[in-house]
Structure 1
Amino acid sequence: MIERPTTKQLLAASLIELAGKKSVDKISVKEIVTNCGMTTTTFYNHFADKYVLLASIYNKEIEPAFSQLGNKISWRDALRIFCITLSDKQSFFLNALKNTSGQTSFRYATNDYAIDLLRERLRILGKEDELPIEIDFLAKYYMRSISEMIQDWFIGGQKIALDNFIELLVLAMPEPLKKHLL
């Protein structure tokens, strides 16, 4: 059976297409919906603003890595997925990283989402209703750090080989997280 794209997928595809022609900070919601034949009401039924849509494009790609973490994939595999996801749509994600800033920035939105996913996965892996304060703090600290490093690595032209870069990210992991993630 042929699967039809969802409204969210069509809006994402429209933003990706438009970002191939201009800076994401210059793209309006009106342009996004006009490009895919929708209305602004439809857009706002699904996303608070274009920055939420922008972050959701990356977040949708990384969700499976977190859901399979500890079962089907290792932390190193998850890190590889985070990096490769950026490379697969290189021009789009470079546009997003370079042309957004502040609390609406691509960095900020994707980072917070990744922190939430990691916390949830650690809670499940540790079979705990709530993460201990130390683990919760270190998860946020570590994810913020690696998210920034991955984005800097990506923007900087990926000068460190991917496997070496991943090993450096693993090496930087706080000791108390290792029993959960490695």
Structure 2
Amino acid sequence: MKKRTYEASNAAKRQICTVLKELMTQKPLNRITVAEIMRGCGMARQHFYYHFDDVYDAVRWIFEEEAVALLREHEGVMLWQDGLLQLFQYLQENRVFCLCALRSMGRDHLKRFFQTDIRAIIRSTIRLIAAELGYEAGEQELTMLTQFYVGALVSIVEDWLLGEIQGTPEELIRFVDQVLRDHVRGAGLRLSQAGPGTAPLLEPDHCAGPVSK
């Protein structure tokens, strides 16, 4: 019974969000009303609030179900590029909708949609590349590198969506992969040239922040 109720609820959510996505290709989000959405669904207006708090909540659900899910499917998978490639392809195929969301909700909202899941992919990717190149990254260095590249990748996604960066999804993924590999390869080369006993770039004491007196 619970499963049937859950499936019915999800079906209603998808129906509502299909209409919302179509409306978002025609006008800004702040000009779309709940009444307008529900007329398109053939449902009573109050049924919207059985599923979502407001229109922005519905947009968040769309990204969770459609875009972020692509990343989660590939978390921990060797072919990590596939997850990011599918994300870029989703954004490309739904560009008008995504631009409407970005312009209506701001960059911070879009960043929060993807940051957690992109972080998991980037962290495991750095580990994988480091292992391939024979470089042992410490936990502090891994954390700092992950944070740095998560911010960079989210910015690339936003700028590409806005048309500020040109390139196909495949070209962007190759670029990210090459930058990560070059960084890890460079770190390994630095340590090998410095000789045995050389400290890593980031040591725990250097990353712990200021010490309170």
TM-score (norm 2): 0.60
Alignment correspondent of 2:132: none
Alignment correspondent of 1:49: 54
Alignment correspondent of 1:178: none
Alignment correspondent of 1:152: 159
- Aligned residue runs from structure 1 range 31-46, under 5 A: 31-46=36-51
More contact order relative to length (CA 8 Å, sep ≥ 6): 1
Q: Distance in 2 between matches of 1:89 and 1:50?
A: 18
State the 1:80 CA deviation.
0.7
Q: Percent identity?
A: 25
- Change over 3 Å in CA distance of 1:41–1:119 after alignment to 2: farther
Equivalent of residue 72 in structure 2, options 46, 58, 66: 66
Q: Distance in 1 between matches of 2:148 and 2:57?
A: 23
The residue identity in structure 1 corresponding to 2:71 is: A
Aligned length: 162
Alignment correspondent of 1:129: none
Equivalent of residue 9 in structure 1, options 14, 30, 47: 14
State the 1:16 CA deviation.
1.3
- Change over 3 Å in CA distance of 1:133–1:24 after alignment to 2: farther
Matched, 1:87 2:92: yes
Largest Rg, 1 or 2: 2
Equivalent of residue 20 in structure 1, options 7, 19, 25: 25
State the 1:158 CA deviation.
5.5
Structure 2 residue runs of 5 or longer lacking an equivalent are 1-6, 128-138, 185-213
Alignment correspondent of 1:117: 117
TM-score (norm 1): 0.69
Equivalent of residue 161 in structure 1, options 168, 172, 192: 168
Q: Distance in 2 between matches of 1:53 and 1:136?
A: 33
State the 1:157 CA deviation.
6.7
State the 1:149 CA deviation.
1.0
- Change over 3 Å in CA distance of 1:150–1:124 after alignment to 2: closer
